[in-house]
Chain A
Amino acid sequence: DSGVTQTPKHLITATGQRVTLRCSPRSGDLSVYWYQQSLDQGLQFLIQYYNGEERAKGNILERFSAQQFPDLHSELNLSSLELGDSALYFCASSLGTASSYEQYFGPGTRLTVT
C-alpha cells in the first residue's frame, strides 16, 4: 500500500459525458501528479500540482483539467469524453519538487467510455 488513495476504482460512462477522478496523496506529500495509461500510448504524464499550484503540464488535453485543494487532495476532471479516453488514470504523490523525491502511485481509476 503506497498510501495514495484514488476513487473511484472503476468508472463506466458514455461518450460526451463528464467525470471527476479523485486522489488523496500520502500524508505530508505536497506534490500530486496525474498519469494516463492507455494500451496504445503507455504511461503518460498529464499534470502536476505542488501545494495547490500547477507546476508542470504534460500531454493533457484541453478537455481535461485538474486542481489541488487546500487539504492537498486533487481532482482530475475529464469532459466531452471520447472512446479514446478509456484508460487507467493514476495519481502519484511526492514530498516536494526536488529531483530526488520519489513518486508513490495510487491503485488507479479504470475509466471505460462506451
Chain B
Amino acid sequence: DAKTTQPPSMDCAEGRAANLPCNHSTISGNEYVYWYRQIHSQGPQYIIHGLKNNETNEMASLIITEDRKSSTLILPHATLRDTAVYYCIVRVLNTDKLIFGTGTRLQVFP
C-alpha cells in the first residue's frame, strides 16, 4: 500500500502557484520523498525529490516539514501543460521500487 495521502483533485488558475500537499506521517529517517507526474497516459515524469531539506529545480520546489511527516510540491507559475496527475511517493527503504498511490489530479484552467 502507498505510504502517502494526497487530495484526489485540485484546481489552479493559469499563472498562479499550484501547491500540492502530501502526507507521509510514517516516513522512515532515510526514506526520500519523490514527486512524479503523469500527463494523460504518458509515462510518469520525474519532478523532484528530497530527504529533509527544501529542494528547488527548474520544474518545481519541494518543501518538507521539519518533522518530515508532510511535504508540498510547488509549481510556481502553473500552465495548462501542467494539467496532470501528481504522485507523491516515499521511496521504500533499501529497495528501488516506486509505490504509486492514487495521486492528485491537478487541473489548470485559463
- Name A's B-contacting residues (CB within 8 A): 2, 4, 31, 33, 35, 42-45, 48, 55-56, 58, 88, 90, 92, 94, 97, 99-108, 110
Contacts and interface: CB of A to CB of B under 8 A. Distances in A.
Interface of B: 30-32, 34, 38, 41-46, 49, 51, 87, 91, 93-102
A38 B41 CA distance: 11
A55 B42 contact: no
A6 B95 CA distance: 24
A interface, over-half SS: strand
A99 B91 contact: yes
A31 B96 contact: yes
Nearest to A104: B46
A25 to B, nearest CB: 13
Nearest to A100: B32
B97 A99 contact: no
Given A55-B96, A92-B98, 6 more contacts: A4-B43, A33-B98, A94-B96, A99-B96, A104-B46, A105-B43
